[in-house]
């Protein structure tokens, strides 16, 4: 999650999910963005129902999961997902619907990855209240730092509501190794987040931008690219640290 757009949230969600599945993890991916970019990036029709039925009607996640790749299941966004933001009844329980759905899921997955919209609305709150850890993609530009500062204020509110800290990791995306600004941004993040900044940085790679239009992950579209190399490394780093 990150409230700033264009930082590679969906790119990271889809390719990290597939990298983990290729590494023999059993993965469930949830598309919580009404734009359904995660759904289309995996080659599934954006109109396919899924999270809309789960969050609006109380349907089971298992009833709407699709097998997207070996070891990787997907619950699509669904056309009605945007209506979650307009829920006016239910009080605090409105933000706990995803957590309730996950608690009721009796299928065993090693990892559940939630792709979030670029906002901290009701969908975003559902994701944060359900998550055991937050992965924040941050692009290597000055505005990304400004947006991240505001996002930290939102997280403070969530932690007060949960009455517990929400573990977080930061991964740099769209990283230009030769640009001084990118290196300066990384230095600032390292100062602020210290051991929460992941060693792996996702380099700028045109193949990462191209593959969703084919309904393919980077490992299917260009397996020998920098993008594939970086997301494999990110998955290995996450597994090695056991997500904590």
Farthest-apart Cα atoms in the chain, separation: 51
Is 4 contained in some domain?
no
Percent of the chain with pLDDT over 90: 66
Is 130 contained in some domain?
yes
Is 173 contained in some domain?
yes
CB atoms within 10 A of CB 72: 25
Judge contact between 97 and 81, C-beta under 8 A: no
pLDDT range class, residue 90, cuts 50, 70, 90: low
Is 211 contained in some domain?
yes
Q: In terms of DSSP H, where are the helices of the chain?
A: 9-22, 37-41, 51-57, 61-64, 97-103, 122-130, 142-162, 180-193, 206-210, 218-221, 226-240
Q: What is the pLDDT of residue 243?
A: 54
Q: What is the pLDDT of residue 54?
A: 97
Number of domains in the chain: 1
Is 179 contained in some domain?
yes
Strand order in the sheet with 134-139: 134-139, 168-175, 197-203
Range of the structural domain that residue 123 is part of: 9-239
Distance of CA 8 to the CA centre of its chain: 9
CA atoms of 138 and 149, how far apart (whole Å): 11
Is 35 contained in some domain?
yes
Is 122 contained in some domain?
yes
| Residue recorded with tokens 């944060």 | 128
Per-residue pLDDT of 123-168, as tens digits, reads: 999 999 999 999 999 988 877 777 788 888 888 888 988 888 889 9
Q: What is the pLDDT of residue 50?
A: 98
The larger pLDDT score, comparing residue 160 to residue 31, is at 31
Distance of CA 133 to the CA centre of its chain: 11
Percent of the chain with pLDDT over 70: 98
Judge contact between 181 and 145, C-beta under 8 A: no
Judge contact between 178 and 205, C-beta under 8 A: no
CATH of the domain at 183: 3.40.50.300
CB within 8 A of 191, min separation 6: which ones? none
Mean pLDDT of the chain: 91
Is 244 contained in some domain?
no
């Amino acid at each position: 999650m990150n409230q700033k757009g264009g930082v590679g949230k969906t790119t990271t969600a889809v390719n990290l999910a597939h990298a983990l599945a290729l590494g023999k993890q059993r993965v469930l991916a949830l598309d919580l963005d009404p734009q359904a970019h995660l759904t289309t990036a995996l080659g599934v029709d954006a109109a396919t129902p899924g999270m809309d039925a789960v969050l609006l009607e109380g349907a089971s996640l298992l009833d709407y999961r699709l097998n997207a790749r070996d070891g990787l299941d997907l619950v699509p966004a669904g056309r009605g997902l945007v209506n979650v933001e307009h829920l006016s009844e239910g009080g605090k329980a409105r933000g706990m619907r995803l957590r309730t759905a996950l608690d009721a899921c009796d299928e065993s997955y090693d990892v559940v990855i939630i792709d979030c919209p670029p906002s901290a609305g009701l969908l975003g709150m559902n994701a944060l209240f359900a998550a055991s850890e937050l992965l924040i993609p941050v692009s290597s530009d000055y505005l990304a730092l400004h947006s991240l500062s505001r996002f930290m204020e939102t997280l403070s509110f969530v932690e007060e509501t949960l009455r517990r800290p929400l573990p977080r990791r930061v991964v740099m995306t769209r990283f230009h190794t030769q640009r001084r600004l990118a290196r300066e941004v990384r230095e600032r993040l390292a100062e602020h987040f210290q051991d929460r900044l992941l060693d792996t940085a996702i380099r700028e790679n045109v193949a990462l931008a191209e593959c969703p239009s084919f309904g393919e992950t980077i490992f299917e579209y260009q397996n020998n690219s920098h993008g594939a190399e970086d997301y494999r490394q990110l998955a290995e780093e996450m597994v090695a640290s056991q997500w904590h």
